[in-house]
C-alpha cells in the first residue's frame, strides 16, 4: 500500500513538474510549438491580423463593404438597397458571392488529400489566399486609380473605379471565404480568424471563472485562464490588423494595405510549408467521436 501511495505521489509530482515546465516555456513558445496544435495558434493569429487589414481596406476604400464579416456585409447591402449614401450595393453583392465561392473552394480543399492533415490543409489554404491577394494587388496597382498611390483621406468616393472596386471586393471575399472554411476545419479553440461574436460572448464567462479561480485555484482555473488568453489574443490581433490597415489606407494608400495583406499571407504560407516538412502528432485531426 505504501509503495502504491509513493508511486501515486511521485506521478502527481511529475505531472505537476511537467505542467510547471510547460508554463515556464513562455507564451511565445506556445504559439509555435503547442503539443496539441503545433504552430497553428501563431499562424492563425497572423491570419486574424489579415482579417483586420482586409476589412480596413474594403470598408475604407471599396465602398464600405465587409469582405470577412458577412453579417455586417448583409446589413451594408440592406443599407445600399434603401439608398443610404456611401454604400455600394454592387460591391456588397460581389463580396457575398465571392465569400460563398471561397467557402466552397475551402470545402473542396478539405475533401482532398490536403484535408487529411492539418499542416497540408493550412499550406494549401494559405497558398490559395496568397495567390488571390497578389492578384488583387496587381489589379489595384495597374488600375491607375487614385487609390493606387494616394491615401484615402480627401479622395471622397473616387478611390477606385466601379469595376476595380467590385473585382477587388469579390477576390478579397473569396480569399476570406477560403480562410474561414480552413480555420473552421482546423478547429483551434477560439481562433476562427474572421468573426468575434462568440469569442466576445465567452469572454464574460471566462473572466468570471478566472476571478473565482484566484480564490480557489485548480485545474478549472488553469483551463479558464488559458481560454481567456486565447480569446483576448483573437480580439487583439483583429483589432491590431484593423488599426494598421486603417493607417495605411488613410495616410499612405489602399495599395499599401494590400501589400501588407500579401506579406502576412506569405508569412503564413511559409510557416505552413515548414510545418508540413516535419511529421508530428499535432498534424493529425482528432478522431470523430461515436
Structure confidence at residue 204 (pLDDT): 67
Domain assignment present for residue 132? The answer is yes
**Average pLDDT score, the chain:** 83
Closest CA to 46 of 197, 232, 257, 269: 269
Give per-residue pLDDT as tens, 250-260.
Answer: 999 999 999 99
- Written as nine digits, the cell of 137 is 494587388
Domain assignment present for residue 22? The answer is no
Mean pLDDT of the region 57-64: 91
Domain assignment present for residue 208? The answer is yes
DSSP 287: P
- In percent, how much of the chain has pLDDT > 70? 80
Confidence of residue 9 (pLDDT cuts 50, 70, 90): very low
**Phi, psi values for residue 34, rounded to 5°:** -70, 135
* Domain count of the fold of the chain: 1
Domain assignment present for residue 30? The answer is no
How far is 205 from 11, CA to CA, in rounded Å?
33
Domain assignment present for residue 32? The answer is no
Domain assignment present for residue 122? The answer is yes
Structure confidence at residue 226 (pLDDT): 66
How far is 265 from 270, CA to CA, in rounded Å?
8
**Domain boundaries, position 171:** 38-283
- Which helix (H) or strand (E) is 268 found in, with range? helix 254-276
How far is 169 from 160, CA to CA, in rounded Å?
11
DSSP 194: S
Whether the predicted pLDDT of 30 surpasses 80 = no
Give the Å distances, CA to CA, from 143 to 6, 131, 138, 146, 168: 74, 18, 8, 9, 11
DSSP 282: G
Kindly report which listed range (33-42, 46-55, 95-104, 204-213) carries the lowest average pLDDT score: 204-213
Amino acid at each position: 500500500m505504501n509503495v502504491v501511495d509513493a508511486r501515486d505521489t511521485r506521478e502527481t509530482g511529475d505531472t505537476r513538474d511537467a505542467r510547471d515546465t510547460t508554463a515556464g516555456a513562455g507564451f511565445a513558445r506556445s504559439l509555435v510549438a503547442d503539443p496539441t496544435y503545433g504552430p497553428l495558434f501563431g499562424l492563425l493569429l497572423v491570419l486574424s491580423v489579415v482579417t483586420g487589414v482586409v476589412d480596413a481596406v474594403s470598408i475604407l476604400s471599396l465602398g464600405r463593404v465587409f469582405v470577412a464579416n458577412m453579417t455586417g456585409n448583409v446589413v451594408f447591402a440592406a443599407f445600399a438597397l434603401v439608398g443610404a449614401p456611401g454604400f455600394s450595393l454592387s460591391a456588397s453583392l460581389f463580396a457575398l458571392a465571392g465569400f460563398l465561392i471561397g467557402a466552397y473552394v475551402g470545402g473542396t480543399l478539405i475533401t482532398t488529400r490536403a484535408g487529411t492533415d492539418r499542416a497540408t490543409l493550412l499550406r494549401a489554404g494559405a497558398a490559395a489566399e496568397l495567390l488571390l491577394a497578389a492578384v488583387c494587388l496587381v489589379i489595384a496597382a495597374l488600375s491607375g486609380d487614385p487609390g493606387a498611390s494616394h491615401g484615402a483621406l480627401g479622395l471622397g468616393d473616387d478611390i477606385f473605379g466601379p469595376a476595380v472596386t467590385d473585382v477587388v471586393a469579390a477576390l478579397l471575399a473569396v480569399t476570406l471565404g477560403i480562410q474561414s472554411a480552413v480555420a473552421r476545419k482546423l478547429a483551434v479553440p477560439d481562433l476562427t480568424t474572421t468573426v468575434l461574436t462568440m469569442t466576445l460572448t465567452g469572454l464574460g464567462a471566462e473572466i468570471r471563472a478566472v476571478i473565482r479561480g484566484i480564490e480557489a485555484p485548480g485545474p478549472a482555473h488553469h483551463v479558464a485562464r488559458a481560454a481567456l488568453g486565447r480569446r483576448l489574443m483573437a480580439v487583439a490581433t483583429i483589432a491590431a490588423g484593423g488599426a494598421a490597415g486603417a493607417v495605411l489606407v488613410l495616410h499612405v494608400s489602399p495599395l499599401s494595405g494590400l501589400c501588407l495583406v500579401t506579406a502576412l499571407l506569405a508569412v503564413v504560407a511559409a510557416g505552413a510549408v515548414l510545418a508540413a516538412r516535419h511529421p508530428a502528432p499535432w498534424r493529425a485531426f482528432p478522431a470523430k467521436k461515436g
